Structure 1
Amino acid sequence: MTNQPQGEESAPTPEELREQIEHTREELGQTVEALSAKADVKAQAKEKAAELKEQAADKATLVTDQLREKAAHAAQLVKEKTPDPVLDKAAHAAAQARDTAARAGHLAADKTPDPVREKAGTAATMAKANRAPLIAATAAFLVLLLVRRSRRHRK
């Protein structure tokens, strides 16, 4: 009477039941994690923002490379189409300008007293440290001069 009919499966052992329960728990845990990830809008927004940021950086790099390539190509075209005598004259003029500027700089440095050189060095250091306000002041001064000049010519 306790015999089971042949062909039917026997009842699972306690060990098999434990394994099934553990497997079901793992699947349930994965399902809960997937659902919570879908419900986490903040995390999704961060992921999307990071993805868009990366795409923008890639696009910027691509555009920058293309612009550099086009600028190099344009420079090459200008160089190829400029006659050699003009290139030679430009190179000669640039060399003369550099030499003249170097000579003037050495002459000025030789004839400038030490205290004045020290103050000029200090002023240059301060100008480098405060570049933005200095540029703004210079621009304002130039605008003022241009306005005054244009008013004089109108009268």
Structure 2
Amino acid sequence: MTVDPQDNGSTPTPEELREQVEGTREKLGQTVEALAAKADVKTQAQQKAVQTKERIAQAAAAVADKFQEKTPDPVLEKAYQAPESARSNRGLLIAGVAALVVLVLVRRKRKGR
């Protein structure tokens, strides 16, 4: 048991003993919480995964920004126009994909004979 610096050699009062016990309990509780946190490997792994995702997202954003800075304007314009063109010609695009699927299925069927 630790000795109180204010102790003058006399026996501690019941109130002083209660205070010491309460202080010891509080320290013990903090120690147990710290040990439990260290032992919680799953939570630590999840936290590291979140941190890694954030770093990757930041790096990807930096690369995208750098790419956009270095790419000539006409190329960027074409890149933005491609999805717009696909949306406006959606019917034609769907028909082309359907024709391709039919062609692949017919060829597979012929090879199976």
Using the size of structure 1 for normalisation, the TM-score is 0.44
**Unaligned ranges ≥5, structure 2:** 1-6, 75-87, 105-113
Structure-2 separation of matches of 1:68 and 1:135: 32
Deviation above 4 Å: which 4+ runs of structure 1?
Answer: none
User: What is the match of residue 22 of structure 1?
Assistant: 22
Structure-2 separation of matches of 1:55 and 1:134: 42
Using the size of structure 2 for normalisation, the TM-score is 0.58
Given candidates 98, 102, 111, the residue that maps to 1:137 is 98
Distance 1:58 1:9, change over 3 A: same
The one-character-per-residue Cα deviations of 1:50-77 (angstroms, maximum 9, x if unpaired) are 1111111111111111111112xx449x
Q: What SS does the corresponding residue of 1:10 show, helix, strand or coil? A: coil
Offset, 1:17: 1.2
Structure-2 separation of matches of 1:135 and 1:12: 92
Structure-2 separation of matches of 1:61 and 1:12: 65
Structure-1 separation of matches of 2:18 and 2:96: 78
User: What is the match of residue 48 of structure 1?
Assistant: 48
Structure-2 separation of matches of 1:37 and 1:9: 40
Offset, 1:134: 4.5
User: What is the match of residue 108 of structure 2?
Assistant: none
Aligned-residue sequence identity (percent) comes to 49
The AA in structure 2 aligned to 1:38 is K
The one-character-per-residue Cα deviations of 1:24-58 (angstroms, maximum 9, x if unpaired) are 11111111111111111111111111111111111
Offset, 1:13: 1.6
> How many positions carry a matched residue from both structures?
83
Structure-2 separation of matches of 1:29 and 1:67: 53
